[in-house]
Amino acid sequence: MISTMYQLGTLDSAKAFLASLLVGIAFGFFLERAGFGSSRRLTGVFYFKDMAVIKVMFTAVITAALGLTCCIVLGWVTIEGIYLMPTVYGAYVVGGLIFGVGFVMGGWCPGTAAAGAASGKMDALIFLLGAVIGSALFNEMFALIKPLYEWGQGGVVFIYDTLGMSKGTFNIILSVAAVLMFWGCEWIERRRTGQSLGENASILKTLSVAVLTLAVVLVAVGAGRPSGEQPMGQAGGVISSESQLLEAIDMAQDHIEPEDLADRMLRRESGLIVVDIRPVIEYMDYHLPNALNIPMKDLHQTLMPYRNVGTIVLYSNGMTHPVQARDSLYRSGYTNAYILTDGLNGFIERCLTPVSLRDEIVPLEIAAKIRAWRSFFLGSEAPPQAEPATPSEPLPSSLLVDVQWLEKQLNRPDIRILDLRSQPEYSTSHIQNSLALNVENLRTNINGVGSMLQPGDMLAGYMSAMGIRPTDTVVILYGDKTQDATLAGIALERLGHASYRILNGGFAAWKSAGKPIVTDLPEIAASNYAVTKSDMFSVDYMTVLEYVRSKKGIILDVRPAEYYEGAKSNEARAGHIPGAINRPYTEDLVNVDDIPQLKPVEELARAYARLIPSENSTVVVYCRTGHQASQTFFVLKRLLGYKNILWFDAGWSQWAARQELPIE
Amino acid sequence: MTKIKYTNPYLAGIGLGLTLLLSFLILGAGLGASSGLARIAACTELYIAKAHTLSSEYFGKWGQNPMRYYLVFMLVGIFIGGLCSALLANRMELQVERGRRSSVRLRSAFALIGGVLVGFASRLANGCTSGQALSGTALLLTGSFVFLICIFVGGYATAGLFRRQWND
């Protein structure tokens, strides 16, 4: 049995790049040999002058299709080992039509143009340039095209299932069609040129007989082995019956063992998507590094881009919910969703229990693995003796912490303190090992809006430079603006880094409590912070506009009242988004010794209960630049537990400047 | 030196088919060309406007190093393979291929616009003649057959409009 690189998840390795280069060389060689380095010959097919395109293409398709079926029947490879593209009917129809026009107009397609350019065809080079421009154009227009791009999604579906026949029957029909097409092409060319088949005749006859014989033999072999067709249908096809689903479960194709997952996460396997479906509170206490927290009801929508791309692993504490979620995904055509055997509890027990606490005798190499897992998943390898089996000392469930708590954590290696005060303030006195950070450095200009939170990978770059690891708990200290702390918090949220805490009262609280301060700088080793795409709370103005029109959510304007009312303005227009409610962010604060602190949670809960009907209500928060709104976001989502809080980062400065958007 | 004749189309087709089969067995994925071009586009955009590209929904997900992708290497391979074959067959010749009565300008304009359409359509359909029409149909995927049929419909429907570039 061959394990393909796709199956092993090593398509991004140097070995795969070399193999791709070699396959490409053979591909380019045969394209040029076939005469496809000539646009004239390629387009000849559209004018019935030169039918080589059809001859070569269908010979190649039938060779590969029958060849692959042979390999599957012989048990060399399974269809699971091959990447199968999901069908998107609408997008493919429109794409095909546009492609056809481009092909006949430009005289090339991408592969042949590369081979053509290599043989000196300048028109091929121009065509390639055009194709690069076309790709960029697609990217730029993506927001507009997305509905078309996703129009008519059918999942991975095979043509023989669509036509309601067996794979063998379809192979025979395809073979007969190919042979008829070959002879038809010869007939067209002969009529045009008047030349006889010549040497082609014997080759074509041999090919015809070989193709038809092979197709029939494959059906006979398949019929002789009743299970011969099954790997195809069950692994890749749309799940047409519940029995196939149950069979996949019976064959244990639906789960992944904790040790296997631990190894794959440890080597940072690309394409591995680990999904934590527990409530956010539990997720924040502990989760596997870089796991996405997705509520069950949002799984289909959020995981759509990963359908049959990479490997999705679902986990909860136990097994029940992941099993149900995974089956639901499987029914929708996800063939790459797995559950973690024994859940997070099992993972901790099987992978993270120190060797010294295990009843059984652990072989040396396993012990080494356990140490590696512990250091990766728990942040640091603690002395093995008295370590409990739980991942780490439980953190307080509230994200708002006080000085006493922070003081107790100072010596923990997985605690990182971010000090957001100005550079001189930091340099003259700060907490031991705390890192200075100017919160404005987390923002940049995106699409012309100057105050946007940076994309995940840029933020991950900062984290790496500061030596912060995904497993660390980050404690944020502010100077005189609580919203600085929440902006840093929302940056961490974009990275899927849920384990952070904000010191209520900021550095001033620490100082006035008389706790130790230093002036030396911390010793930091850079980390390698991996990017996660877990930001599902940021929305753009188009989304906000939809909420304005549908009136299905609440829009909270957190700016001071005079800006909301339009009495004051420092943006393109004065006023607010239609339908927005004003709740200034300062209402959530109380000054203690001139330093703002967040009000007690109970008080905040009472205030917001009057504005927001239920914890499931969708609320869009915005201010001028996203800064103040990050505080309201933190209050609603992290302190009060509202589930659907969206953050309109670009805020009033963009809304006001886009004259086409309505205002009040 | 005389140019060597093109290989018999059926034999070349078998060669291509075996290459594709090899790609399935080793890589676990079919052939592809347009992805490589899209990666070049993403790389160029990154060079011009990094944050904009990284924040864009489509190219953004390829990260900061879009060129680290197997199909980019395959595209380079196609070029090398084509070069080897052309040199061995004495077919290497700098030219803008066109009909004798057609101008270089017209042919170039058609090639450029055709390229834009093909580049765009390949992204829309997640592949081109290599990834969808060849590899996908060999895997018997419904979408690939739909795409292939639509290419020919689109091509034959408009072939007349672009014929003048081949006029002799």
Which residues of B are less than 8 Å from A124 in CB distance? 111
User: In chain A, how many domains are there?
Assistant: 4
3-state secondary structure of A85: coil
Asked if B55's CB is within 8 angstroms of A455's CB, the reply is yes
Judge contact between A211 and A175, C-beta under 8 A. Answer: yes
Closest chain A C-alpha to B166 CA, distance in angstroms: 7
Q: Which of residues 110-139 of B touch A (CB under 8 A)?
A: 110-139
Bridge partners of A340? A256
Burial A240-269 (b: 16+ CB within 10 A, else e): eeeebbeebbeeeebbbbbbebbebbbeeb
Give domain status of residue A459, yes or no: yes
Distance in angstroms (rounded) separating the CA atoms of residues A498 and A654: 28
Pairing of strands A443-446, A449-453: antiparallel
pLDDT at residue A167, as a whole number = 86
Chain A residue with the nearest C-alpha to that of B85: A29
Asked if B84's CB is within 8 angstroms of A33's CB, the reply is no
Residue A518 DSSP one-character state: B
Taking only the tens place, the pLDDT of each residue in B76-102 is 999 999 999 999 998 888 999 998 888
Query: At A95, which amino acid appears?
Result: G
Residues sharing a CB contact under 8 Å with residue B49, sequence separation 6 or more, in sequence order: none
Domain co-membership, A506 together with A471: yes
Domain co-membership, A34 together with A158: yes
Phi, psi of A401 (to 5 degrees): -120, 165
pLDDT at residue A222, as a whole number = 65
Nearest to A104 among B13, B71, B159 (CB): B159
Judge contact between B130 and B32, C-beta under 8 A. Answer: yes
Pairing of strands A311-315, A272-276: parallel
Portion of chain A with pLDDT greater than 70, in percent = 92
Domain co-membership, A602 together with A648: yes
Q: Does position A309 have pLDDT exceeding 90, yes or no? A: no
Closest chain A C-alpha to B101 CA, distance in angstroms: 14
Count of all residues that appear for chain B in the document: 168
> What residue has token string 């064959």?
A251
Confidence of residue A389 (pLDDT cuts 50, 70, 90): very low
Closest chain B C-alpha to A411 CA, distance in angstroms: 36
Asked if A159's CB is within 8 angstroms of B142's CB, the reply is yes
Give domain status of residue A664, yes or no: no
Of A177, A193, A220, the domain-final residue = A220
- Of A190, A237, A186, A183, the C-alpha closest to A211 is A183
Six-digit token pair at A121?
């065809």
Judge contact between A384 and A484, C-beta under 8 A. Answer: no
Residue A393 DSSP one-character state: S
pLDDT at residue A239, as a whole number = 43
Give domain status of residue A563, yes or no: yes
Chain A residue with the nearest C-alpha to that of B50: A446
> What residue has token string 């990284």?
B54
Nearest to A119 among B7, B86, B140 (CB): B86
Q: Any CB–CB contact under 8 A between A32 and chain B?
A: yes
Domain co-membership, A208 together with A59: yes
Which CATH number belongs to the domain containing residue A588 in this structure? 3.40.250.10
Q: Any CB–CB contact under 8 A between B15 and chain A?
A: yes
Distance in angstroms (rounded) separating the CA atoms of residues A209 and A338: 44
By mean pLDDT, which of A164-168, A208-212, A236-240, A257-261 is the weakest? A236-240
Give me the mean pLDDT over the A520-549 stretch. Answer: 83
Judge contact between A340 and A347, C-beta under 8 A. Answer: yes
Asked if A22's CB is within 8 angstroms of B77's CB, the reply is yes
Confidence of residue A423 (pLDDT cuts 50, 70, 90): very high
Nearest to B113 among A18, A37, A105 (CB): A105
Closest chain B C-alpha to A35 CA, distance in angstroms: 6
By mean pLDDT, which of A42-56, A119-133, A293-307, A548-562 is the weakest? A293-307
Q: Does position A387 have pLDDT exceeding 50, yes or no? A: no
Taking only the tens place, the pLDDT of each residue in A111-162 is 999 999 999 999 999 999 999 999 999 999 998 999 999 888 888 889 998 8
Domain co-membership, A200 together with A258: no
Phi, psi of A555 (to 5 degrees): -110, 120
Give domain status of residue A597, yes or no: yes
Taking only the tens place, the pLDDT of each residue in A323-359 is 888 888 887 778 888 999 888 988 988 888 877 777 7
Domain co-membership, A26 together with A137: yes
Confidence of residue A226 (pLDDT cuts 50, 70, 90): very low
CB atoms within 10 A of CB A277: 23
* H-assigned helices in A267-389: 280-285, 299-303, 320-331, 343-347, 364-377
Burial A300-311 (b: 16+ CB within 10 A, else e): eeebeebbbeeb
Distance in angstroms (rounded) separating the CA atoms of residues A219 and A409: 69
Closest chain A C-alpha to B16 CA, distance in angstroms: 5
Chain B residue with the nearest C-alpha to that of A58: B13
Q: Any CB–CB contact under 8 A between B3 and chain A?
A: no
Give me the mean pLDDT over the A603-625 stretch. Answer: 91
Six-digit token pair at A96?
């095909």
| Residue that wins the pLDDT comparison between A547 and A305 | A547
Domain co-membership, A555 together with A415: no
Q: What is the pTM of this model?
A: 0.54
| Residue that wins the pLDDT comparison between A396 and A63 | A63
Domain extent for A493 = 400-512
Asked if A457's CB is within 8 angstroms of B146's CB, the reply is no
Distance in angstroms (rounded) separating the CA atoms of residues B82 and A118: 6
Distance in angstroms (rounded) separating the CA atoms of residues A529 and A464: 5
Give domain status of residue A530, yes or no: no
Domain co-membership, A124 together with A182: yes
Bridge partners of A337? A312
Bridge partners of B95? A121
Taking only the tens place, the pLDDT of each residue in A463-513 is 999 999 888 889 999 999 999 999 999 999 988 887 899 999 999 999 988
Nearest to A97 among B15, B54, B150 (CB): B150
Which residues of A are less than 8 Å from B58 in CB distance? 138-139, 142
Q: Best interface-test mutation with B: which of A58, A66, A104 has the largest number of B CBs within 10 A?
A: A104
Closest chain A C-alpha to B72 CA, distance in angstroms: 8
Phi, psi of A363 (to 5 degrees): -60, 155
Confidence of residue A203 (pLDDT cuts 50, 70, 90): confident
Distance in angstroms (rounded) separating the CA atoms of residues A242 and A415: 48
Nearest to B97 among A23, A40, A199 (CB): A40
Q: Does position A393 have pLDDT exceeding 80, yes or no? A: no
Give me the mean pLDDT over the A599-603 stretch. Answer: 89
Which residues of A are less than 8 Å from B136 in CB distance? 85
| Residue that wins the pLDDT comparison between A420 and A614 | A420
Give domain status of residue A663, yes or no: no
Residues sharing a CB contact under 8 Å with residue A41, sequence separation 6 or more, in sequence order: A35, A50, A52, A53, B6
Give domain status of residue A440, yes or no: yes
Q: What share of chain B is helix, strand, coil (3-state, %, to 5)?
A: 70, 0, 30
- In DSSP notation, A565-621 reads HTSS--SSS-S--TTPEE--GGGGEEEETTEEEEPPHHHHHHHHHTT-S-TT-EEEE
CA angle A166, A167, A172 (to 5 degrees): 100
Instruction: Kindly report the three-state secondary structure assignment for every residue of A608-662.
Output: HHCCCCCCCCEEEEECCCCHHHHHHHHHHHHHCCCCEEEECCCHHHHHHHCCCCC
Asked if B154's CB is within 8 angstroms of A99's CB, the reply is yes
Give domain status of residue A573, yes or no: yes
Q: Does position A87 have pLDDT exceeding 80, yes or no? A: yes
Domain co-membership, A485 together with A369: no
Distance in angstroms (rounded) separating the CA atoms of residues A78 and A88: 24
Nearest to A101 among B45, B78, B154 (CB): B154
Bridge partners of A449? A446
Residues sharing a CB contact under 8 Å with residue A474, sequence separation 6 or more, in sequence order: A416, A417, A418, A468, A492, A497, A499, A500, A501
Q: Does position A194 have pLDDT exceeding 80, yes or no? A: no
Closest chain B C-alpha to A462 CA, distance in angstroms: 15
Taking only the tens place, the pLDDT of each residue in B39-75 is 999 999 999 988 888 888 899 888 888 999 999 999 9
> What residue has token string 């537990």?
A641
Of A468, A494, A512, the domain-final residue = A512
Residue A184 DSSP one-character state: H
Chain A residue with the nearest C-alpha to that of B145: A159
Distance in angstroms (rounded) separating the CA atoms of residues A23 and B74: 7
Confidence of residue A198 (pLDDT cuts 50, 70, 90): low
Domain co-membership, A422 together with A361: no
Judge contact between A167 and A218, C-beta under 8 A. Answer: no
Q: Any CB–CB contact under 8 A between A96 and chain B?
A: yes
| Residue that wins the pLDDT comparison between A231 and A478 | A478
Domain co-membership, A639 together with A604: yes
Judge contact between A463 and A529, C-beta under 8 A. Answer: yes
Judge contact between A334 and A307, C-beta under 8 A. Answer: yes
Distance in angstroms (rounded) separating the CA atoms of residues A385 and A381: 11
Which residues of A are less than 8 Å from B54 in CB distance? 455, 457-458
Domain co-membership, A321 together with A281: yes
